[in-house]
Structure 1
Amino acid sequence: MEGPVSSQDTMPTNTEPSNTIKLLHLVFLSTSWGMQVWVTFVAGFVMGSRLPRHTFGFIQGELFPYYFHIGSACAFLNLTLFAMCHPSELLTEEQTTQIIIFFVCVAASVLNTQWFGPVTSDIMVDLHLVERSHGLGQEVGLVATKSRRELRATNPSYRQLSQQFTLYHALSSLCNLCCVACNGLSLYYLASRLSAL
């Protein structure tokens, strides 16, 4: 006859994840962070300073949907893998913080993928149409030229588009930087647990 089941038998355990789970977690986290650092701090600045503005905008408009979707998928998978290996009943304060960081990264990624990124790209296309009709857009660099400043001053619809673009681009950039910071903190959390390289 079996005795009563003890509470210890039914409590979840914080088991060591398999090497496959650890590898997947590292691959998703490092892929996301590496991609974000490259796009944010290298590719954007190099292309922005070397290509005609409209060419730069076109390239970003084509690449960013992939960039945002890959980042969102990696963020979601990182959260899922970490949560699977750390039952909520056994979470330490540090692990709870890590879950929150992954959740913030997922939220910021999804906002960029579903809202800020597409809206920014759509407004950019409208801006480029107006600029092309005035012979603008082939200048190299992102600094506003005298011609574009004059167009903003004389064309109310262009001015409104410029203001909308600035707002949504700033929100998209903020979400992107939030993800970079979250993934950097997650990498620090993992590195602090490494016993050897």
Structure 2
Amino acid sequence: MLLLLTVALCAAAGVASAPEGLLVGSTAAVTTVKLVHLLCFATSWGATVWAIFIGGVIMFLNLPRHMMGSLRGKVFPACLALTAACTAVSSATFAWLHRPWQAMPAVERRQLGVLVAAAGLDLANLLLFAPKVLKVIRERHKLERGLGVGDLGSFDGMRSNARAAGCCAALAAANGRFRIAHALSALATLTSAAGLAAHSCYLAGKLAP
């Protein structure tokens, strides 16, 4: 997945920095670039909405605490890699379609900045924040198993964790590290989602009445 992400980011950089005259005069080629932009943006936006509002909620409500943590450890990195790659490609195609950049209207410059920021946040989440969250989750799972808690559903598991943390300093410290790492990861995800939502409004404004 990281290899595919690297390829996507390199391809995005190549498209964004392509010669200004490349593909000009080819309606089919320009249409293809527009299609790539829309498909990549839609994929990133859909994956983000699913991960935040649907998939994560379903896992939280229906899976035992430790099973949910293990599944998130597999699903979320893949989702973040997908959204980072797709948003980076969307940024690159958007930049190429609006060259020369010096003459780009202010509204398009803002949209490009939003897309680049969203891709950067997803990349930071994938490489920095999410790994810290998952590392602390594994530490908490190990401590909870030693204390005999964690196999319950999410709500009961949270209450059991809170009670166990009252008499286990190591678990209390792990809980504190989890809250900080999770807050940073969630903030990055929500900020990226807000940027994608803003771009969807921009695209909606381009639709013919």
TM-score range, shorter chain: 0.7 to 0.9
Q: How does 1:1-40 map to 2 (within 5 A)?
A: 18-40=30-52
Cα separation, 1, equivalents of 2:31 and 2:195: 23
Shift of 1:65: 1.2
Partner residue, 2:138: 125
Q: Please tell me whether residue 76 in structure 1 is matched to residue 92 in structure 2.
A: no
Q: Please tell me whether residue 182 in structure 1 is matched to residue 195 in structure 2.
A: yes
In terms of mean alpha carbon deviation, does 120-129 or 139-148 score higher? 139-148
Q: How does 1:106-125 map to 2 (within 5 A)?
A: 106-125=119-138
Cα separation, 2, equivalents of 1:27 and 1:185: 17
Q: Please tell me whether residue 61 in structure 1 is matched to residue 73 in structure 2.
A: yes
Shift of 1:166: 0.8
Where do 5+ consecutive residues of structure 1 fail to align? Answer: 1-11
| Code of the aligned partner of 1:22 | K
Cα separation, 2, equivalents of 1:176 and 1:145: 23
Which of 172, 176, 183 lines up with 2:185 in the alignment? 172
Cα separation, 2, equivalents of 1:25 and 1:143: 44
Shift of 1:147: 3.0
| Aligned partners of 2:65 and 2:157 also within 8 Å | no
In terms of mean alpha carbon deviation, does 150-159 or 95-104 score higher? 150-159
Cα separation, 1, equivalents of 2:103 and 2:158: 58
SS state of the match for residue 154, structure 1? coil
Partner residue, 1:44: 56
Could you state the TM-score of these two structures normalised by the residue count of structure 2? 0.83
Task: Kindly name which structure, 1 or 2, has the bigger radius of gyration based on alpha carbons.
Answer: 1
Where do 5+ consecutive residues of structure 2 fail to align? Answer: 1-19
| Aligned partners of 2:44 and 2:87 also within 8 Å | yes
SS state of the match for residue 18, structure 1? helix
Q: Which structure carries more helix by proportion?
A: 2
| Code of the aligned partner of 2:43 | T
Cα separation, 1, equivalents of 2:159 and 2:192: 35
Which of 101, 104, 111 lines up with 1:98 in the alignment? 111
| Code of the aligned partner of 1:42 | I
Shift of 1:144: 5.5
| Aligned partners of 2:44 and 2:82 also within 8 Å | yes
Partner residue, 2:3: none
Shift of 1:127: 0.4
SS state of the match for residue 149, structure 2? coil
